[in-house]
């Protein structure tokens, strides 16, 4: 069965509240959607969120990468040989992980449909007994003034979420105060993950995290305390605090992941399909995590249900994935799609529908 054509279109979905981190503020999801079609008419869908401050990929660069490089390279290839398609896509242009991820996800969706399997069953064939059918996601609390963050946290816990991912990284001492007040307001049973999004220096990270430890704030982990290219800084922080450190922006590729695992650049790894360039490379990081005995989170950028659901399928398939940060659809005001995993507050329920499961994507597609 050959890959007959690739089409692209755009979707815009407003957010419930603006998404604010140490790096950016965003008001709506504005993503490119990819549709791949097999010779027999079966379709697969993928999604690309332009996250320039993290991946370097913009709306224009993603579209150009797919239109001028990826589509001409892989259209007409044999869908039964997915590894060859992935190798060709990897070679046709360097980096551009978001564009590659969107096409990779669409191809996996299509491939699983052709195999008549849900994607998570297909990805979980290495160890079917470890496959999960339900996940619990955390939800992001944006970085704001402490009062607003406390209000957001209390509201979110009231909606049933039990794991908060709190964005900090805008001032060490203020960050301790933010977490102290949130902990006071939500009580001790709520899990708090802290994400600094590269916002601290290594010394600031150690003193801030140590202050949180000394205050008994019960932080589960701290994500990406220092700049993504400061590998030694990540090692330093990991070695000097008790709280587990999770590498996010430091790990894009399989090679990045292996380096962190081998050289103890962090205790945990956050895999995001938009950083790895899709499922193909993410699976390799999961294999490495199994070898090293490292636990992983599957995270997402600010994305809607198509690509987040691809992350859901991978998270459900692999035992090394013990944490889900797949709150994109929960942050969107509406769900414009039909089918796919069901997002019920913090719970995500997988179905036995083939592929990713999404059946309707209300986008005007242009064949390229």
Query: CA separation (Å) from 329 to 87, 136, 275, 334?
Result: 31, 13, 19, 8
Lateral strand order in the sheet of 245-247: 139-141, 163-167, 191-195, 219-223, 245-247, 268-272, 296-299, 321-325
Work out how close the CB of 169 gets to Mg ion at its nearest, in angstroms, rounded to a whole number: 10
Work out how close the CB of 248 gets to Mg ion at its nearest, in angstroms, rounded to a whole number: 4
Q: Which is nearer to Mg ion, 111 or 228 (CB)?
A: 228
Work out how close the CB of 7 gets to Mg ion at its nearest, in angstroms, rounded to a whole number: 31
Q: Which is nearer to Mg ion, 57 or 109 (CB)?
A: 57
Q: Which is nearer to Mg ion, 113 or 193 (CB)?
A: 193
Under a CB-based contact definition with an 8 Å cutoff, are residues 188 and 218 in contact?
A: yes
Mapped onto helix, strand or coil, the DSSP state of residue 200 is coil
Stretch that binds Mg ion, among 39-47, 127-135, 147-155, 187-195 (CB under 5 A): 187-195
Residue with tokens 């292996």: 258
List the catalytic residue out of 20, 35, 100, 272. Answer: 272
Annotation says 272 is catalytic: yes
Of the candidates 43, 104, 138, 195, which one interacts with Mg ion according to CB under 5 A?
Answer: 195
Q: Which is nearer to Mg ion, 35 or 178 (CB)?
A: 178
Stretch that binds Mg ion, among 5-13, 79-87, 90-98, 191-199 (CB under 5 A): 191-199
Query: CA separation (Å) from 239 to 152, 233, 359?
Result: 32, 10, 47
Residue 163's CB: how many other CB atoms inside 10 A?
Answer: 20
Under a CB-based contact definition with an 8 Å cutoff, are residues 172 and 206 in contact?
A: no
Work out how close the CB of 78 gets to Mg ion at its nearest, in angstroms, rounded to a whole number: 37
Annotation says 167 is catalytic: yes
Q: Calculate Rg over the CA atoms of the chain.
A: 20
Interaction residues for Mg ion, span 210-269 (CB under 5 A):
223, 248
Under a CB-based contact definition with an 8 Å cutoff, are residues 329 and 137 in contact?
A: no
Work out how close the CB of 54 gets to Mg ion at its nearest, in angstroms, rounded to a whole number: 9
# residues contacting Mg ion (CB under 5 A):
3
Q: What count of residues does the chain have?
A: 368
List the catalytic residue out of 20, 167, 275, 305. Answer: 167
Residues forming the site for Mg ion (CB under 5 A): 195, 223, 248
């Amino acid at each position: 069965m050959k890959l007959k054509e690739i089409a692209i279109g755009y979707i815009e979905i407003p957010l419930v509240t603006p998404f604010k981190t140490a790096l950016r503020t965003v008001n709506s999801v504005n993503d490119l959607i990819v549709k791949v079609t097999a010779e027999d008419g079966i379709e697969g869908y993928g999604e690309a969120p332009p996250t320039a401050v993290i991946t370097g990929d913009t709306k224009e660069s993603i579209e150009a990468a797919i239109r001028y490089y990826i589509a001409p390279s892989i259209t007409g290839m044999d869908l039964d040989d997915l590894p060859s398609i992935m190798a060709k896509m990897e070679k046709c242009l360097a980096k551009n992980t978001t564009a590659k991820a969107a096409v990779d996800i669409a191809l996996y969706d299509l491939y699983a449909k052709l195999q008549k399997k849900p994607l998570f069953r297909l990805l979980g064939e290495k160890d079917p007994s470890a496959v999960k059918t339900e996940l619990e996601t955390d939800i992001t609390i944006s970085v704001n003034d402490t009062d607003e963050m406390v209000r957001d946290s209390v509201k979110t816990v009231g909606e049933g979420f039990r794991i908060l991912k709190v964005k900090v990284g805008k001032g060490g001492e203020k960050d301790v105060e933010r977490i102290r007040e949130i902990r006071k307001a939500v009580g001790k049973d709520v899990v708090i993950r802290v994400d600094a999004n590269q916002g601290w220096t290594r010394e600031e990270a150690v003193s801030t995290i140590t202050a949180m430890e000394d205050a008994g704030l019960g932080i589960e982990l701290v994500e990406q305390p220092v700049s993504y290219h400061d590998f030694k800084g990540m090692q330093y922080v990991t070695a000097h605090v008790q709280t587990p450190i999770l590498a996010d922006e430091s790990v894009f590729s399989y090679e990045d992941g292996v380096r962190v695992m081998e050289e103890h650049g962090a205790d945990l790894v956050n895999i995001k399909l938009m950083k790895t360039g899709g499922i193909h490379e993410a699976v390799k990081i999961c294999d490495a995590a199994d070898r090293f005995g490292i636990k992983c989170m599957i995270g997402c950028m600010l994305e809607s249900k198509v690509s987040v659901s691809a992350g859901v399928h991978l998270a459900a398939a692999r035992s090394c994935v013990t944490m889900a940060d797949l709150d994109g659809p929960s942050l969107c005001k509406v769900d414009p799609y039909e089918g796919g995993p069901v997002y019920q507050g913090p719970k995500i329920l997988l179905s036995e529908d083939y592929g990713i499961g999404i059946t309707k994507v209300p986008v005007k597609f242009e064949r390229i």
